[in-house]
Each structure stands twice: as structure tokens, then as C-alpha cells.
Amino acid sequence: MLNQQTAPPLPAIFIGKDLINRRVKLYMQNKHPLLSRALSAGGQPREETRSIWYSRDHIKTWLEEINHHEADGMRVYFGAYGEGEEGRPAGQLCLLMVLTRKAKDGQDHKDIILEEEPDFEARQGAQSRSFDSGLAGSILRPREYNYGSPCPPICPGTLSFPQE
């Protein structure tokens, strides 16, 4: 049994369920309805993304990429799907994770653009393992770097945090 002497300390990034619940609730009460209404403005009702799930394998692969590129972290951009992209509704929120490394001046974290890396051409032709939403396991298909399972439309089970 773990005790205070043997248990690993909580990570400094830990914020706790109360703060998570409060922030998710604020999003679901304030931004989610506005975004969902904007997506639905063209006619058919559509709900905006509530969450995005990444499998353990996806995270492991991401950490391998961080090591491969000697990255110092990552930046998460908010984006939106275009018309007909990946079977997602046009305009739906997506997250785009981009590796970073210290800029030459050491003052900033510069995005790593994979197409500009020296090994890109060699890696581009290789087939990589991609992740099929974690629902059907991983499958082989052409390179897809930032793929997670957005809810909706992929919402297995129930949300752990408040929806309204």
C-alpha cells in the first residue's frame, strides 16, 4: 500500500476535478451553444466538438516524435475541418498539435515544420501506423499526423464532466 513516503507526488500540472468540472461547465454553458448554433446556421442542426480523445498509442507515438526531433514541447492550435475532410462536418473544431524547439535566440519556442526537416522526404514515403479512433484499433494507412476522435460525432460512452 502506498503512503506519503512511497507514493509519487502529483505532477505540477495537476489541477483537480473541481477546476476541470468548472472549466468544462463554462465552455458547455457559454461557448458550446454559440458554436453549435453557428454550425447549424446553414440549415441542419449540428453540435460543436465537446472533447477530443487520443489513444495511448497515439500519445506514445507523439512522444517518440518529440524525441526524434529533439523537441522541447508542443503547441496546440485550434482549427476547423474544411468541406468533405475526413468525414467531419465542415467548420467543426479540431486540435492541431505541432512540435516546438527553442529558437536560435533561445527566447521563444519555434514550431517544427516537418516538411522542412532534413529527414522529411525519406520519412514521407514510408507507411506509418495510424489510429482509427481507438474504437477499431490501429490500422495501416497513409500518413495522418494529428488524428484524434472528436466528440461529436464519435462519442462512445458518456462524458465524465458536465455537459450543461
What confidence category does residue 137 fall into, taking pLDDT thresholds of 50, 70 and 90?
Answer: very low
Residues 23 and 33 in one domain: yes
DSSP helix/strand/coil, 31? helix
Q: Is the pLDDT of residue 163 over 90?
A: no
**For residue 84, what pLDDT is reported?**
81
The reply to whether 10 falls in a domain is no
Residues 114 and 76 in one domain: yes
Residues 26 and 67 in one domain: no
The reply to whether 11 falls in a domain is no
The reply to whether 7 falls in a domain is no
C-alpha cell at position 21: 468540472
The model's pTM is 0.71
Q: How many domains does the chain have?
A: 2
User: φ, ψ for residue 100 (rounded to 5)?
Assistant: -130, 160
Q: CA 153, 154, 157 angle in degrees (round to 5)? A: 125
Residues 32 and 66 in one domain: no
Mean pLDDT of the region 52-73: 91
CA distances from 104 to 35, 65, 98, 107 (A): 39, 21, 18, 8
Mean pLDDT of the region 25-40: 91
Residues 135 and 84 in one domain: yes
Q: Tell me 33's DSSP state.
A: H
**For residue 157, what pLDDT is reported?**
58
Domain housing 86: 49-151
Residues 39 and 96 in one domain: no
Q: Tell me 29's DSSP state.
A: I
Name the more confident of 149 and 28. 28
Neighbours of 38 (CB within 10 A): 12
DSSP per-residue codes, 35-60: HHHHHHTTSS--PPP-EEE--HHHHH
Residues 37 and 57 in one domain: no
Q: Which of 11-25, 68-82, 92-106, 141-155 has the lowest mean pLDDT?
A: 141-155
C-alpha cell at position 20: 476541470
Residues 56 and 31 in one domain: no
Residues 53 and 120 in one domain: yes
Residues 35 and 75 in one domain: no
Residue of 68, 159, 81 whose CA lies nearest to 117: 68
Residue of 119, 118, 114, 140 whose CA lies nearest to 128: 140
Name the more confident of 153 and 117. 117
